[in-house]
Amino acid sequence: MSYNAKEIEKKWQEIWKNEDYFEPKDDYKLEKKYILSMFPYPSGRIHMGHVRNYSISDALARYYRKKSFNVLHPIGFDSFGMPAENAAIKHKIHPKKWTYENIDYMKNELFSLGFSFSRKRMLATSDPIYTKFEQEFFIKMYEKGLIYTKEATVNWCENDKTVLANEQVEDGKCWRCGNEVIQKKMPGYYVKITSYAKELLDDLKKLQDKWPNQVLTMQENWIGQSFGLEFSFKLDDSIELDAKSFKVFTTRADTIYGVSYVAIAPEHKIVNELIDKKLIDEELITNIKAMQNQSPKERQSDEKKGYFLNLYAIHPLSNEKIPVWVANFVLIDYGSGAVMSVPAHDERDFDFAKKYKLPIKQVIQNNGEAINDKPYSDKSGILINSDEFNGLDCNEAREKIIHKFETLSIGKKVVNYKIRDWGVSRQRYWGAAIPMIRCEKCGIVPCELSSLPITLPDDVEITGEGNPLEKHPTWKDCICPKCKQKAIRECDTLDTFFQSSWYYARFASDEKTWNEKAFDEKSVSYWLNVDQYIGGIEHAILHLLYARFFQKALRDMSYLRDDEPFARLLTQGMVIKDGAKMSKSKGNVVDPDDIINKYGADTARLFILFAAPPAKELEWNDDALEGSYKFINRLYERALRVSKNASLDIVQNELSKEEKYARLKVYEALKKSYEVYEKTFAFNTLIAACMEALNALNTVDNDSLNKEAFYIILNILEPIIPHVCFELSQKLFDLENFKKELVLKDEVFTKDTINLAVSVNGKKRAEIELSSSSSKDEIIDLAKQAVSKWLVDKSIVKEIYIEKKLVNLVVK
């Protein structure tokens, strides 16, 4: 019988489905494994990146089931977001219809690959019941002070009447309509993730050796802890302003005497006051407003530009007058929106000072060198031109200068973080409604928990112009929970990162309680935290950071228990073809459905795990795909020659040399399987070991050995190519026995012979193979025979034997 992938795969997928084969058990006394892959966006079809991600997680889930673990291996869909609205405009279809039709199609694709996901715990983040508890978290966070409102500058498209993420601004224009994007101040809701900055940073230590170092470094840099001096520059009284001073923060207090100008952001309150009171001329106002309309990304990449504001600040120690400039490189959302500039010791400040002919004051010297064509930015050296601190080492000077500020009560030592609070308001329809109400009398008021979920109205038209919720005739009208007067429902929806930041915990909750509460305490206490999380490196910062924050916030609100959500992390590499990442825009996409139809799901899985180690890029190779298919055919045909009635009683000493070698290769593959599935995830090496074992068996005609070998090989490969392994195991073995854990046998690794190097005067001249039971005298006699030509006319002075390693004959 020849291998028929379609028939075999359909058969076993039906069996697994009908028997609830992959559902986690309710027995919480069992040892558990929670294996989770990052869930997909329902774009319509899965791609090879999905196949790679889920093949890895499925192999691990299946392996631990075989080891009798209680395994949770769920899947869902990150189903809110802008792509659904774009599809609604393009295809004139409702985002909800588009989304759920895609989910249905993609579910079939995922199960057609044999992935052992729990069907009962499948969810979509756009499901009303998921939204209900998400809105509950939002309200609880708001009441706890973790969510607040503020006005901030955003990317705004006047044509489409919507806020754009930085990624949606292309060359200063809206990605949708091509109109110029402006910077606009708008109110929005912000999550106070900065209140967890220290814990988010400190807890990275708990993940050492369990998360990739690259990811830990990226998280650490994004949080960006720095120690330094915070103080205020007072403004001189040459211009009458309400603002009398402004704060700055510096990590380089040792350069304080080198400040030759200060720079503030275009949106700074001082700049706005100068504009509002027309204290600067019209040309300067026009230039500043043009700067304000640049996105942060553009300003960071643009040429450094600034304008003198005809305003001076007073140096806190020297009392010198310092010019105040507005500069495009200063961002209002970073720090205080103002920086002290030390051109002699900072490259950016140096370039700006050179461009505008500002003073450059050297205050740190190294080996007596003066500042000429470039600044001296190292954090070591000796202070000069720094009053009482001259001659001090930089490190000592930093501490003493901060101490002076604190003694004079004009500044203090602080810890700062680069991370900013998380803006979650989005002016679009297809998202979770923010559960807040705006009342003229009471202000901003949370919805009552009993009114949740706040669901979206279906009768909307998606045109791409503005937020349809704002235009709906009745949806936003409501009653204030406090004063019972007419009020307006919040029309912004939540950033989709909000949904993907807690789904892992929802999966861990018993699905039978999903309608009643966010999490079943007993269930989440058992399953969390996630034992192995798998996903792309592109999510290494924001998604993982937000999920870590959610875990800590939900812990502090008594929903969850652990400090960290994901015990171990694997970031799989991209799938590339023709030298580029697979994407529709590059025209190099390979459709998984085509692979399944031509070769079968097992071939797709085998290739994707054999082509490269999981963390590395995988270069698509049609020949290697064909090779994977041929290997499964050989495995199938060779297995069918195994005698089902053969005994598994094997006496190692009665095997021939070839049989012992073949059995050794089989058990070496088994030994490697433990290492691969539990530590390295180098599936390519495990598959290669199985191929080597199969090749060694080709010369063996021993029914018992063949049966044992295929019992082991099919067990090893079942997590990788499950359909064909289940099929063959059903034909050859009792499936219940097939589920039992395999045991290594020491006798297989005991060699009958040993190889020894033979040296003459320390130089290797030969290698001999002999029985492991040979005596020392027998070994030395064999060694002499092997190197006899180097002993002619020589006298042996000394015979050295190092057991099981070498023989060295010293001659003269």
Q: With 80 as the cut, is the pLDDT of residue 408 above it?
A: yes
Q: Which of the listed residues 436, 469, 496 is the one where a domain comes to its end?
A: 496
Looking at the domain assignment, is residue 801 inside a domain? Answer: yes
Q: With 90 as the cut, is the pLDDT of residue 180 above it?
A: no
Tens-place pLDDT, residues 727-761:
999 999 876 655 556 788 888 888 777 888 999 99
Looking at the domain assignment, is residue 590 inside a domain? Answer: no
Q: Which of the listed residues 496, 514, 537 is the one where a domain comes to its end?
A: 496
Percentage of the residues of the chain whose pLDDT score is greater than 90:
80
Span of 256-260, 338-342, 359-363, 426-430 with lowest mean pLDDT: 426-430
Tens-place pLDDT, residues 15-44:
999 999 999 999 999 999 999 999 999 999
Q: So what's the pLDDT on residue 162?
A: 74
What helix, strand, coil percent values describe the chain, rounded to 5? 40, 20, 40
Q: Which of the listed residues 496, 527, 551 is the one where a domain comes to its end?
A: 496
Tens-place pLDDT, residues 193-208:
999 999 999 999 999 9
Q: How confident is the model at residue 167 (pLDDT cuts 50, 70, 90)?
A: low
CA distances from residue 676 to 146, 683, 717, 726 in whole angstroms, order as listed: 42, 6, 12, 21
Taking the CB of residue 414, how many other CB atoms lie within 10 A of it? Answer: 13
SS (H, E, C) 243-284: CCEEEEEECCHHHHHHCCEEEECCCCHHHHHHHHCCCCCHHH
Q: How confident is the model at residue 557 (pLDDT cuts 50, 70, 90)?
A: very high
Rounded to an integer, the average pLDDT of 92-99 is 95
C-beta of residue 148 within 8 angstroms of C-beta of residue 192: yes
Q: Which domain holds residue 781?
A: 753-811
Q: So what's the pLDDT on residue 741?
A: 65
- Nearest partner of 8 among 603, 409, 672, judged by Cα: 603
286 and 310 belong to one structural domain: yes
Specify the CATH number for the domain of residue 767: 3.10.20.590
383 and 449 belong to one structural domain: no
Tens-place pLDDT, residues 796-812:
999 999 988 899 999 99
Q: Write the DSSP assignment of 113-171 as a string of letters.
A: TT----STT-EETTSHHHHHHHHHHHHHHHHHTSEEEEEEEEEEETTTTEEE-GGGEET
Number of residues assigned to the chain:
812
Span of 73-87, 629-643, 645-659 with lowest mean pLDDT: 645-659
Tens-place pLDDT, residues 582-632:
887 788 889 999 999 999 999 999 999 999 999 999 999 999 999 999 999
Rounded to an integer, the average pLDDT of 223-228 is 95
Q: So what's the pLDDT on residue 464?
A: 80
Q: How confident is the model at residue 647 (pLDDT cuts 50, 70, 90)?
A: confident
Q: Write the DSSP assignment of 423-462 as a string of letters.
A: E-EE-SSSSPBP-EEEETTTEEEEPPGGG---PPPS----
Percentage of the residues of the chain whose pLDDT score is greater than 70:
99
Q: With 80 as the cut, is the pLDDT of residue 391 above it?
A: yes
Q: What is the spatial distance between Cα 352 and Cα 354, in angstroms, rounded to a whole number?
A: 5
444 and 384 belong to one structural domain: no
Q: Is 777 exposed, middle or buried (0-12, 13-18, 19+ CB in 10 A)?
A: exposed
Looking at the domain assignment, is residue 596 inside a domain? Answer: no
409 and 444 belong to one structural domain: no
Q: So what's the pLDDT on residue 516?
A: 96
Report CA 351 to chain centroid distance, whole Å. Answer: 36
Q: So what's the pLDDT on residue 584?
A: 77
Looking at the domain assignment, is residue 599 inside a domain? Answer: no
Specify the CATH number for the domain of residue 273: 3.90.740.10
Counting Cα atoms < 13 Å in the Cβ hemisphere of 547 gives 22
Looking at the domain assignment, is residue 764 inside a domain? Answer: yes
Pairing of strands 245-250, 422-423: unpaired
Rounded to an integer, the average pLDDT of 183-199 is 93
Q: With 90 as the cut, is the pLDDT of residue 538 above it?
A: no
Average pLDDT for the chain: 93
Q: So what's the pLDDT on residue 127?
A: 98
Report CA 485 to chain centroid distance, whole Å. Answer: 46
Q: So what's the pLDDT on residue 166?
A: 67
Q: With 80 as the cut, is the pLDDT of residue 165 above it?
A: no
396 and 252 belong to one structural domain: yes
Q: So what's the pLDDT on residue 739?
A: 58
Q: How confident is the model at residue 184 (pLDDT cuts 50, 70, 90)?
A: confident
Looking at the domain assignment, is residue 510 inside a domain? Answer: no
Tens-place pLDDT, residues 563-591:
999 999 999 999 998 888 888 778 888 99
Q: Cβ contacts of residue 487 below 8 Å, gap of 6+?
A: 437, 438, 439, 440, 442, 445, 478, 479, 480
C-beta of residue 801 within 8 angstroms of C-beta of residue 770: no
Q: With 80 as the cut, is the pLDDT of residue 87 above it?
A: yes
Tens-place pLDDT, residues 368-382:
888 888 999 999 999
Looking at the domain assignment, is residue 386 inside a domain? Answer: yes
**Highest mean pLDDT: which of 86-95, 332-341, 523-532?**
523-532
| Tally of structural domains, the chain | 3
Rounded to an integer, the average pLDDT of 208-236 is 96
366 and 271 belong to one structural domain: yes
Q: How confident is the model at residue 122 (pLDDT cuts 50, 70, 90)?
A: very high
C-beta of residue 238 within 8 angstroms of C-beta of residue 428: no
165 and 309 belong to one structural domain: no
Q: So what's the pLDDT on residue 649?
A: 85
Q: So what's the pLDDT on residue 751?
A: 76
C-beta of residue 456 within 8 angstroms of C-beta of residue 429: yes
Beta bridge partners of 32: 70
Tens-place pLDDT, residues 459-506:
998 888 888 999 999 999 999 999 999 999 999 999 999 999 999 999
More confident position, 773 or 491: 491
Q: What is the spatial distance between Cα 180 and Cα 357, in angstroms, rounded to a whole number?
A: 33
350 and 369 belong to one structural domain: yes
Rounded to an integer, the average pLDDT of 128-152 is 96
Looking at the domain assignment, is residue 276 inside a domain? Answer: yes
Q: So what's the pLDDT on residue 334?
A: 79
294 and 400 belong to one structural domain: yes
Q: So what's the pLDDT on residue 332?
A: 86
Rounded to an integer, the average pLDDT of 342-351 is 96
**Amino acid letter, residue 161:** K
411 and 427 belong to one structural domain: no
Q: So what's the pLDDT on residue 738?
A: 59
267 and 333 belong to one structural domain: yes
Q: With 90 as the cut, is the pLDDT of residue 246 above it?
A: yes
Strand order in the sheet with 147-157: 162-164, 147-157, 181-191, 422-423
339 and 260 belong to one structural domain: yes
Tokens matching residue 227: 């120690």
Q: How confident is the model at residue 296 (pLDDT cuts 50, 70, 90)?
A: confident
